[in-house]
Amino acid sequence: MILKPHESPSDAFTIPRGKEDFLVFGAPVIEQDEIDEVVACLKSGWLGTGPRVTRFEECFRDYKGVNHALAVNSCTAALHLSLLTIDIEPGDEVITTPLTFCATINAIIHAGAIPVLADVDPVTMNIDPVEVERRITQRTRAIIPVHFAGRPCDMTAIRQVATKNDLLIIEDCAHAIETEYRGEKAGTLGDLGCFSFYVTKNISTGEGGMVITDNEEWANRIKILALHGLSRDAWKRYSDEGYKHYYVSEAGFKYNMMDIQAALGIHQLARVETNWQKRKALWDFYQRELIDLPVTLPAEPEADTKHGYHLFTLLIDEPRSGISRDEFLEAMYEQCIGTGVHYLSMPEHPYYQQRFGWRLEAWPHAMRIGRQTVSLPFSPKLNEQDAARVVAAIRCSLSAERERPTMRRAA
C-alpha cells in the first residue's frame, strides 16, 4: 500500500517504507555504562548471583526507601514468592484486576489460590475499590492491585477495604517503578511490592524482577524460596570464603537473578528519572497532537500522584473512530509502527473461561477497554521525528481517505 500524504502541513514528510525503519514497540535504552558493566561482569567470571545482584538490591532499596529488596528473575516469580510467603493456602481467594498481564493471574494459580476478578474504573483503568469489596468472601486473603500503565490505584480506598476485611496487599508494580501516590512510593503502599525488568519495562535487565517489603520474616523466606529453598546465602557456596554445607529447608524454586542481569539494572536504575522525563515529554506531545482525533486519550494523572508513564493508550471505538481496533493495529503495522495491546480482558482467554467459568460480561469495563485499547510506542528512545511519525501514522489510519482494500475488509 502506498500511503497518501496527509493534507495537514504538520506532517509534510514521507514515511519510510523499509522494514529497517520499523519503530519497535517498547525498545529498551541500553547505554555504554550498561555495556561496560556487563563486560566487567563477564571478565570477573562471576556470572551468577553475586556482588552485582547485592549492589542492585541495595540501590533499589535506597530508591524505594524500604528495608528489604530481593532480586529475582521476573515479576512473575516476585508475585509467586510474595503469595507463598504470606502462606496462601489451597482454596484461598486473591482479588485482582481483569486488565492485567496473565502473569498476575497465573502466579495466583501457581500459589494454589483462586483468582477473583474485580472490574476496573472506566477512566483510570485501575481496579475499582467498590468492586473489590463486592467480591470479598470468607476465603479472600489478599488483593493484588496493578498500577495500570503507571497510574497509581486508589490506594486509600483499597487499604481501607483491606484493613476492614483483614486482607494483605501485594502490589503488582510491573508498570510502576517511578509511580508515587500521595507522597508514598509504589511497592510500599501495601505489604509487598513486585517489579518487572522485562525488556519493554521502564527499567530492563532483559528478564528480571524485584520484591520489596519492610517485613524481615517474609524477606528471609523469599530469599530462601528463590534459590531451591536452600539455607541462607547458599549462593556463596563456591566463593573464596571456602566451601560451606547448605541445607534444604523447603522445596523452593530457581528464581534467582544473575549478576549479568544486575549489571544492566544498576545503570538502568541510575537513569530512571532521566528516562521518566523523556516519557513525560512524549506523553505531553501525544496528548497535544492527538487531541482533535476521534479516539479516547488517557486521563491525565491525578493530583498528588506521580504517574509512571509506562504506557500511552488510545481507545479505538469503531462507530466513533471509523475503524475497528484490530484494523487500526494492522494499519499502524503497515506504516511500520509497532503497537501493543494492554490487555485483552483476562476472561477473553479460553483457559480461564474453562477453569473458572468466567464470562466476559461480568466485567464490562475491562471487556470494552480490552477490545478498544492500543498502546503507542512510548520508549524514551523515540526522538521527535519518531514521535511525529507515530502521530502521522495514527492520522492516516483514522482518515476516511485511507485505502480500505488492504485492510482485509469486505468492500
Ligand X SMILES: *Cc1c(COP(=O)(O)O)cnc(C)c1O
How many whole angstroms separate alpha carbon 3 and alpha carbon 396? 8
How far apart are the two ends of the chain, measured CA to CA in Å? Answer: 16
**CA distance to 108, 148, 201, 374, per residue, from 347 (Å):** 15, 17, 24, 18
Residue 16's region, left for phi above 0, alpha for psi from -120 to 50, else beta, is beta
Q: Give me the least distance between CB of 108 and ligand X, in Å please.
A: 12
157: three-class secondary structure by DSSP: helix
Residues in the chain: 411
The residue among 310 and 389 lying less far from ligand X, judged by its C-beta, is 310
Q: Give me the least distance between CB of 370 and ligand X, in Å please.
A: 14
115: three-class secondary structure by DSSP: strand
The residue among 100 and 335 lying less far from ligand X, judged by its C-beta, is 100
Q: Give me the least distance between CB of 174 and ligand X, in Å please.
A: 3
Q: Is 213 exposed, middle or buried (0-12, 13-18, 19+ CB in 10 A)?
A: buried
The residue among 85 and 104 lying less far from ligand X, judged by its C-beta, is 104
Alpha helices in 74-145 (DSSP H): 75-85, 102-110, 129-134
The residue among 75 and 266 lying less far from ligand X, judged by its C-beta, is 75
Of 164, 157, 149, 106, the C-alpha closest to 131 is 157
Q: Give me the least distance between CB of 202 and ligand X, in Å please.
A: 11
Residue 362, all three cell numbers: 461480568
Beta strands per DSSP E along 152-273 = 168-172, 180-181, 184-185, 192-196, 209-213
Residue 27 DSSP class: -
The residue among 258 and 290 lying less far from ligand X, judged by its C-beta, is 258
264: three-class secondary structure by DSSP: helix
Residue 186, all three cell numbers: 509504589
Catalytic residue list: 201
Q: Give all strands of the β-sheet with 305-306 in edge-to-edge order.
A: 184-185, 180-181, 305-306
Residue 321 in contact with residue 398, Cβ under 8 Å?
A: yes
Q: Give me the least distance between CB of 206 and ligand X, in Å please.
A: 10
Residues that bind ligand X (CB under 6 A): 74-76, 100-101, 103-104, 146, 172, 174-175, 196, 198, 209
How many whole angstroms separate alpha carbon 186 and alpha carbon 179? 5
Q: Give me the least distance between CB of 110 and ligand X, in Å please.
A: 12
Q: Give me the least distance between CB of 339 and ligand X, in Å please.
A: 16
The residue among 63 and 198 lying less far from ligand X, judged by its C-beta, is 198
The residue among 153 and 390 lying less far from ligand X, judged by its C-beta, is 153
Q: β-strands 168-172, 192-196: how paired?
A: parallel
Cα dihedral angle (224, 228, 234, 236), rounded to 10 degrees? Answer: -120
Q: Give me the least distance between CB of 145 and ligand X, in Å please.
A: 10
Residue 87's region, left for phi above 0, alpha for psi from -120 to 50, else beta, is left
Centroid of chain to Cα 45:
32
The residue among 60 and 101 lying less far from ligand X, judged by its C-beta, is 101
Of 132, 133, 141, the C-alpha closest to 84 is 141
